């Protein structure tokens, strides 16, 4: 059997996606990913289809810049062989399908709840009776952290099994932030309301998610973006990357109690987010990206202002980097802490920053570029040690890289074009968009019904895969190093819980 091959942001009629029986579907998709480091699963989800479930699997091929689509009808009363038994990277997807539709897998090793969707198949599974992994031993003890934490962070429960100070196992229970975002998309409402929903998927990746939504919607409507829209989106994405990475460097310094780094990086983040305020009236860039329009064109005045902000930002940032990366006490906290091995990273299918720090080159900006990323010819920064130091260094290097891109992008502004109206979405279409947010690959999929209305909307935040990487990274580390490991990933709870 063959898959349907599409490009990033392409939409195809649902009927063109080849359907097959489960055996062929299993062989095809596991065969595509197995031992092929350039391919990974970007989304695998089900939609109810009469009494049966229609599964869609989307496998991205980074070398050929295409996405393989295939589908399969399954019966929720039957038992199926799980992809996970062969490839761990399908683990979360299959758990989600099991939770939502009650599809049973005969050999899934870790079939636990994901996020307790309101209309889940098995209502007896609640957040209070999560089946934690436990070990019986006199020497070991369990430490439970959360869901209410000491800092201003989102809720999530962490259960450690420790031997004294050493962590043997960490299990992360999420789902406290579940708001039913995907279901909210299906309510008939205005386009601006849908765009606002996208902005609120996770508060720290506003540009990433709203760009992914805009691209999906434009693809469904057959809309071609104009050069000035492309420019606004790429500038916003890179600014978001700079702002969050700088803030994360500050937070990493706070966690190792390095006050100088904490306050200097914290201060440096401010002018970047303040620039967003100047540009679109919101420090988190809410309201900036909308399908089919360029609400806040990037003008020459803004370009001049941004380049003067970057001129002040860059020397301070470089000087602080010199201090931090030559401070023995800081390096001793970062180096060889929280290692995710290259083999583990590849097998569990991590994406984005977490992948690139463990030697897996996975960056949508270079592998599935859209808009101006085609012109920039982005080359991903890849680190190989997979420790906290790599993740901190990657942030530093990506900030410097993004500053370089911004300077090139704003050197020549495109001619401003008028907004052209959007048509309504075509009927019975499937659209997929991949965007490299600061944290990693964001995937939005939409399926329209006979009248062009949304009948399914599927969101995948990079945190969805990467939480498992955090759980693996802390094994055999000291429990007191957990906070710095956690911060070095800085994953989203609400992006996972949706």
Backbone angles phi, psi at 431, to 5 degrees: -130, 145
Q: Which helix (H) or strand (E) holds 153?
A: none
d(CA 47, CA 68): 18
d(CA 247, CA 267): 9
Tell me: does residue 151 bind another protein (CB under 8 A).
yes
Compare residues 114 and 484 and give the one whose CB is closer to another protein.
484
List all residues 6 or more positions away from 423 whose beta carbon is below 8 Å from its beta carbon: 221, 222, 223
Tell me: does residue 2 bind another protein (CB under 8 A).
no
Work out the angle at residue 377's Cα, subtended by the Cα atoms of residues 372 and 378, and round it to the nearest 5 degrees: 100
Candidate residues 262, 402, 490, 494; the one interacting with another protein per rule CB under 8 A? 262
Backbone angles phi, psi at 270, to 5 degrees: -55, -50
Tell me: does residue 137 bind another protein (CB under 8 A).
no
Q: Give the chain's length.
A: 498
Least spacing, CB of residue 390 vs another protein, in Å:
17
Tell me: does residue 480 bind another protein (CB under 8 A).
yes
Tell me: does residue 322 bind another protein (CB under 8 A).
no
Task: Tell me which residue of 191, 69, 52 sits closest to 443, measured CA to CA.
Answer: 69
Task: Tell me which residue of 236, 194, 197 sits closest to 217, measured CA to CA.
Answer: 194
Q: How many CA atoms lie within 13 A of 278 on its CB side?
A: 15
Candidate residues 255, 344, 387, 436; the one interacting with another protein per rule CB under 8 A? 255
Compare residues 124 and 259 and give the one whose CB is closer to another protein.
259
Compare residues 330 and 429 and give the one whose CB is closer to another protein.
330
Compare residues 68 and 333 and give the one whose CB is closer to another protein.
333
Tell me: does residue 260 bind another protein (CB under 8 A).
yes
Span interacting with another protein, options 29-37, 42-50, 211-219, 326-334, rule CB under 8 A:
326-334
d(CA 310, CA 315): 9
Backbone angles phi, psi at 444, to 5 degrees: -115, 135
d(CA 345, CA 468): 10
Read off the DSSP letter of residue 106.
S
Tell me: does residue 330 bind another protein (CB under 8 A).
yes
Tell me: does residue 142 bind another protein (CB under 8 A).
yes
Task: Tell me which residue of 452, 429, 456 sits closest to 184, measured CA to CA.
Answer: 456
Tell me: does residue 263 bind another protein (CB under 8 A).
yes
Candidate residues 50, 124, 128, 150; the one interacting with another protein per rule CB under 8 A? 150
Span interacting with another protein, options 59-67, 199-207, 301-309, 477-485, rule CB under 8 A:
477-485
Least spacing, CB of residue 391 vs another protein, in Å:
16
Least spacing, CB of residue 325 vs another protein, in Å:
12
Candidate residues 141, 408, 416, 451; the one interacting with another protein per rule CB under 8 A? 141
Candidate residues 17, 145, 181, 403; the one interacting with another protein per rule CB under 8 A? 145
Tell me: does residue 416 bind another protein (CB under 8 A).
no
Compare residues 244 and 330 and give the one whose CB is closer to another protein.
330
Q: Which helix (H) or strand (E) holds 370?
A: none
Tell me: does residue 23 bind another protein (CB under 8 A).
no
d(CA 361, CA 379): 10
d(CA 280, CA 282): 6
Tell me: does residue 258 bind another protein (CB under 8 A).
yes
Least spacing, CB of residue 310 vs another protein, in Å:
21
Tell me: does residue 478 bind another protein (CB under 8 A).
yes
Tell me: does residue 143 bind another protein (CB under 8 A).
yes
- Beta bridge partners, 66, equal 61
Contact 351, 362 (CB under 8 A): yes
Least spacing, CB of residue 271 vs another protein, in Å:
15
Least spacing, CB of residue 151 vs another protein, in Å:
5
N-term to C-term CA, the chain: 34
Span interacting with another protein, options 5-13, 88-96, 386-394, 476-484, rule CB under 8 A:
476-484
Candidate residues 256, 288, 409, 471; the one interacting with another protein per rule CB under 8 A? 256
Secondary structure (3-state) at 311: helix
Contact 3, 68 (CB under 8 A): yes
Report the interface residues with another protein, using CB under 8 A.
141-145, 150-151, 164-165, 253, 255-260, 262-263, 267, 327, 329-330, 332-333, 337, 478-483
């Amino acid at each position: 059997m063959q898959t349907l091959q599409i490009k990033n942001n392409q939409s195809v009629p649902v009927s063109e996606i080849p359907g097959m029986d489960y055996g062929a579907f299993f062989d095809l998709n596991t065969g595509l990913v197995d031992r092929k480091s350039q391919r990974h699963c970007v989304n695998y989800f089900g939609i109810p289809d009469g009494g049966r479930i229609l599964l869609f699997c989307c496998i991205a091929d980074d070398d050929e810049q295409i996405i393989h689509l295939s589908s399969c009808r399954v019966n929720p009363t039957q038992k199926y062989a799980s992809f996970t038994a062969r490839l761990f990277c399908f683990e979360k997807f299959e758990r989600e399908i099991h939770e939502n539709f009650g599809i049973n897998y005969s050999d899934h090793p870790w079939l636990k709840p994901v996020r307790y969707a309101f209309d889940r198949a098995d209502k007896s599974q609640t957040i209070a009776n999560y089946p934690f992994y436990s070990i019986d031993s006199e020497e070991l003890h369990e430490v439970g952290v959360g869901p209410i934490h000491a800092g201003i962070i989102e809720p999530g429960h962490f259960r450690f099994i420790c031997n004294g100070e050493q962590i043997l196992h960490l299990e992360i229970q999420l789902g406290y932030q579940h708001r039913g975002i995907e279901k909210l998309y299906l309510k008939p409402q205005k386009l601006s309301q849908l765009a606002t929903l996208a902005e609120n998927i996770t508060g720290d990746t506003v540009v990433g998610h709203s760009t992914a939504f805009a691209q999906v919607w434009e693809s469904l409507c057959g809309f071609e973006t104009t050069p000035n829209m492309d420019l606004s989106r790429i500038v916003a994405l890179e600014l978001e990357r700079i702002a969050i990475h700088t803030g994360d460097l500050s937070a990493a310094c706070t966690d190792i109690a390095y006050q100088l780094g904490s306050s200097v990086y914290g201060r440096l983040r401010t002018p970047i987010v303040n620039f967003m305020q100047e540009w679109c009236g919101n420090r988190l860039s809410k309201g900036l990206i909308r399908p089919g329009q360029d609400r806040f064109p990037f003008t020459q005045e803004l370009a001049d202002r941004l380049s003067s902000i970057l001129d002040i930002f860059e020397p301070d940032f470089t000087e602080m980097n010199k201090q931090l990366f030559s401070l023995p006490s800081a390096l001793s906290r970062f180096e060889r802490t929280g290692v995710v091995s290259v083999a583990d990273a590849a097998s569990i299918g991590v994406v984005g920053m977490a992948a690139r720090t463990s030697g897996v080159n996975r960056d949508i900006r270079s592998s599935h570029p859209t808009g101006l990323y085609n012109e920039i010819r982005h080359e991903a920064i890849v680190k190989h040690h997979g420790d906290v130091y790599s993740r901190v260094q990657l942030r530093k290097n990506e900030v410097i890289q993004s500053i370089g891109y911004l300077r090139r992008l704003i050197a020549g502004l495109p001619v401003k074009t008028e907004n052209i109206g959007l048509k309504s979405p075509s009927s019975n279409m499937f659209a997929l968009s991949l965007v490299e947010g600061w944290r990693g690959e964001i995937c939005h999929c939409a399926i329209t019904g006979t009248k062009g209305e949304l009948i399914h909307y599927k969101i995948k935040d990079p945190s969805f895969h990467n939480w498992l990487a955090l759980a693996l990274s802390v094994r055999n580390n000291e429990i007191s190093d957990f906070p710095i490991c956690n911060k070095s990933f800085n994953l989203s709870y609400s992006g996972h819980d949706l």
